[in-house]
Amino acid sequence: MTRFAAPIAEQIWDMKYRLKESDGAVIDAKVEDTWRRIARALAESEPDQEERFYGALEDFKFLPAGRITAGAGTARNVTLFNCFVMGTIPDSMAGIFDMLKEAALTMQQGGGIGYDFSTIRPRGSGVKGVAADASGPLSFMDVWDAMCRTIMSAGSRRGAMMATMRCDHPDIEDFITAKSDAARLRMFNMSVLVTDDFMEAVKAGGAWDLSFDGVTYRTVQARDLWNKIMQATYDYAEPGVIFIDRINQMNNLAYCETIAATNPCGEQPLPPYGACLLGSINLARLVENPFEEAATLDYDALNDLVATAVRMMDNVVDASKFPLEAQAREAEAKRRIGLGVTGLADALLMLGLRYGSDEAAAQTETWMKAIARAAYLASVELAKEKGPFPLFDAEAYLASGSLTAMDDDVREAIREHGIRNALLTSIAPTGTISLYAGNVSSGIEPVFAYAYTRKVLQKDGTRTEEEVVDYAVQMWRDKFGDRELPDYFVNAQTLAPSEHVKMQAAAQPWIDSSISKTINCPEDISFEDFKDVYMQAYESGCKGCTTYRPNDVTGSVLSVSEEKAAPEVVAKTDSEPQHPHGDVVYISEPLDRPQELDGSTYKIKWPGSEHAIYITINDLVVGGHRRPFEVFINSKNMEHFAWTVALTRMISAVFRRGGDVSFVVEELKAVFDPRGGAWMQGKYVPSILAAIGGVIEKHMIATGFLAGEGMGLKSDPTADVVNLGARPGPACPSCGQFTMQMIEGCMTCASCGHSKCG
Q: Which residues are identified as catalytic?
A: 263, 265, 267
Q: Please give the single-letter amino acid code of residue 583.
A: D
Mention every residue, 6+ apart, whose C-beta is less than 8 A from residue 99: 86, 87, 89, 90, 115
Contact predicate 699/666, CB 8 Å: no
Mention every residue, 6+ apart, whose C-beta is less than 8 A from residue 215: none
Rounded Cα distance, 610 and 597, in Å? 31
Q: Name the residue among 589, 710, 592, 734 with its Cα closest to residue 661.
A: 734
Rounded Cα distance, 103 and 177, in Å? 24
- Maximum distance among all Cα pairs of the chain, rounded to whole angstroms: 88
Contact predicate 84/113, CB 8 Å: yes
For residue 675, CA distances in Å to 76, 104, 672, 693 come to 29, 19, 9, 18
Cis-peptide, bond into residue 239, ω within 30° of zero: yes
Contact predicate 468/750, CB 8 Å: yes
CB-CB neighbours of 367 under 10 Å: 24
Helix (H, G, I), strand (E, B) or coil at 524: coil
Rounded Cα distance, 150 and 363, in Å? 46
Mention every residue, 6+ apart, whose C-beta is less than 8 A from residue 73: 19, 37, 38, 40, 41
Rounded Cα distance, 514 and 190, in Å? 16
Contact predicate 67/112, CB 8 Å: no
Rounded Cα distance, 7 and 82, in Å? 26
For residue 617, CA distances in Å to 420, 603, 625, 685, 692 come to 61, 12, 16, 21, 11
Rounded Cα distance, 190 and 114, in Å? 10
Return the DSSP state at 15: I
For the packed helices 358-386 and 408-417, what is the interaxial angle rounded to 10 degrees? 20
Contact predicate 264/112, CB 8 Å: yes
The sign of the torsion formed by the CA atoms of 526, 530, 531, 536 equals positive
Q: Name the residue among 586, 571, 565 with its Cα closest to residue 621.
A: 571
Phi/psi of residue 580, nearest 5 degrees: -65, 130
Rounded Cα distance, 282 and 499, in Å? 22
Triad 559, 7, 751: Cα angle to 5°? 35
CB-CB neighbours of 412 under 10 Å: 12
Q: Name the residue among 611, 614, 615 with its Cα closest to residue 636.
A: 611
Number of H helices, E strands in the chain: 23, 31
Mention every residue, 6+ apart, whose C-beta is less than 8 A from residue 361: 502, 503, 505, 506
Contact predicate 613/633, CB 8 Å: yes
E runs forming strands in 508-612: 519-520, 544-545, 547-548, 559-560, 586-587, 598-604
